[in-house]
Amino acid sequence: MSGLRKIGAPFVVPGPSGIAVRDRLKYLSAEDERVLRLVGDHLGTLASRDLKARCVAGLEHDAELWAERKRALTVESSSRWAGSVTKASHDQWALARRGQLAHIQNLQAGVRTIEHRLSLPVGQAGSRRAPGGYRSKREWFAKTRRLHVLTERLDAARADWEAGRVGVVRGGKRLLNTRHHLRAAGLTEMQWRARWRAGRRFLAADGESGKRFGNETIRVTPDGEVSIKLPAPLAYLANAPHGRYVLAATVAFAHRGEQWADRIQANRAVAYRIHEDTSRGRWYLTASWTIPAVKTVPLATARTRGLVGVDTNADHLAAWRLDPHGNPVGQPLRFDYDLSGTAAHRDAQIRHALIRLLHFARRHHLA
């Protein structure tokens, strides 16, 4: 029993902090797609330039440099587009920074493990709590070479961390490396370039509370009409007043559509992103917004009247009422659902099973 992992203390999981829903932009005209690609490529170029400036600034970046970057982009786009681009660059740099720290921690763990095993006699048996020595002199020698490699990588990673240098690829490192393995990926050079251009486009706008329908840059009306504020150099493409371009396609969010409609009618902030799936030949629009944090109930309070333990299976939810100590009470329950048929049918089946489970918990005042 001493060698088994310890079970962590139970806790109440906090609720989601945001919501994202997506719908396909159907029936786009050829002109619509051309305009979206032109705008996305133009803003993508600005985003690449801004990300480079953010990475060069490194740890010396401050509010003044951020404002300077935004002013430089505003001339070639608009103030709102510039705000979205600079924020995205800052978030991407911060994400790379967190990934760099995780990489350093992984290297440190590997170095510690190898150093420990090298310090032990060859062939010494390990225990459940710590590994033993290496099995042979040949393996011991190979691991000494491995230790030198990991140590060099760790020193380089630490130097980058202290200097604030990060490695970022707009479009994704995986897709970039795919360029050298087109045959294995089943792609032609033209198909890869189409994906690469699509991945490096920038068509995302942050929401603004108090503005019409919650977003002035990419605006979606309650009827589903989508319009885009064109950057200054592309204003000649406008087909609507005030330098806007209205798409022929409309959107209707099937999932959480009522929540989205309530937000835009109250002019609350909604962020939008438009992207192209080149493998399917489709365009999508994603809407996202934050929701207020719900204060979680302490676990001791939730246990007062008992709990419900639920297990998800292929065709049913298995539930059992539990007492405050976690012991099963009464008979197990089964809430069946059928996952055959259309997506709408499957969704309705899951929803119905969950509703019956929630009604059971409410009747018995369970958490």
Other C-beta atoms lying within 10 Å of the C-beta of residue 243: 16
Q: What is the DSSP letter of 240?
A: B
Contact 271, 21 (CB under 8 A): no
> Which sign does the torsion angle of CA 344, 346, 350, 353 carry?
positive
- pLDDT, residue 324, reads 80
- How far the first Cα of the chain sits from its last, in Å, is 32
Residue with tokens 């309705």: 348
> Which sign does the torsion angle of CA 62, 63, 68, 71 carry?
positive
d(CA 22, CA 129): 47
Domains of the chain, by residue range, sit at: 299-363
List residues bridging with 328 in a β-sheet: 322
Whole-number Cα distances in Å, 334 to 75, 309, 328: 62, 12, 14
Q: What is the CA radius of gyration of the chain?
A: 27
Contact 318, 331 (CB under 8 A): no
Ranges of the chain with pLDDT below 70? 1-5, 367
Contact 54, 61 (CB under 8 A): yes
- pLDDT, residue 367, reads 66
Contact 272, 204 (CB under 8 A): yes
Contact 304, 261 (CB under 8 A): no
- pLDDT, residue 137, reads 93
- pLDDT, residue 1, reads 45
d(CA 88, CA 181): 29
The DSSP line for 101-139 is HHHHHHHHHHHHHHHHHHTSPTT----SSS----SSHHH
**Phi, psi (degrees; rounded to nearest 5) at 217:** -85, -55
- pLDDT, residue 322, reads 87
Contact 197, 176 (CB under 8 A): no
Residue with tokens 């977003």: 215
Maximum pairwise Cα distance, the chain:
79
**Phi, psi (degrees; rounded to nearest 5) at 281:** 70, 35
Q: Would strands 307-312 and 316-322 be described as parallel, antiparallel, or unpaired?
A: antiparallel
The letter for the amino acid at 224 is G
Residue 141: in which H helix or E strand, if any? helix 137-163
Whole-number Cα distances in Å, 208 to 126, 162, 267: 59, 36, 8
- pLDDT, residue 365, reads 80
Residue 191: in which H helix or E strand, if any? helix 189-200
Q: Is 75 exposed, middle or buried (0-12, 13-18, 19+ CB in 10 A)?
A: exposed
d(CA 156, CA 98): 16
Whole-number Cα distances in Å, 202 to 44, 99, 126, 290: 5, 23, 53, 21
